[in-house]
Amino acid sequence: MIENHRNVAKLDVSSTAISLGTLREISNMTSLESLNVKRCEIDDEGMSVISQLKNLTFLNVSFCISVTDQGVASLSHLKELKNLLLTGSLKNLADILKAVGK
C-alpha cells in the first residue's frame, strides 16, 4: 500500500493501532517531512525505525508512553527535525534533554 505513496510529505496515523511492520513501510517514504503518531503504541524500537526518515522536520509522539529517553536519543542524528512533541510520553525532562544532546 505505501509503495504507491512514497512522495507523501505529511502523514497522520494518530490514535491508530500501527504495527512495527507498518512503521517499517512508512520509513521507506523518503519525502516524509511530518509524522504524527500521537497516542499510538510506539516504543523505542519504533522510534529507531522512525529515525530512518532523514527528511523529517516534525514528529508528534505525544502520549506514546512506551517511548523512553533511548527512543528519543535514536532521533539525535535527524538534522532536519525541528519540532518534536513528547507531551505525556516521557517523565523526566532532564533525561529527554540529555538524550537529544541539549
User: Taking the model in full, what pTM does it have?
Assistant: 0.85
Residue 89: the pLDDT is 73
Residue 94: the pLDDT is 60
CB of 79 closer than 8 Å to CB of 51:
no
Nearest to 29 by CA among 57, 48, 2, 47: 2
CB of 11 closer than 8 Å to CB of 34:
yes
Domains of the chain: 2-99 (3.80.10.10)
- The residues near 32 (Cβ < 8 Å, ≥ 6 apart) are 8, 9, 10, 11, 26, 53, 55, 56
pLDDT in single tens digits along all 102 residues of the chain = 555 667 899 999 999 999 999 999 999 999 999 999 999 999 999 999 999 999 999 999 999 989 988 899 999 999 999 999 988 876 655 666 666 665
Based on DSSP, count helices (H) and strands (E) in the chain, helices before strands.
4, 4
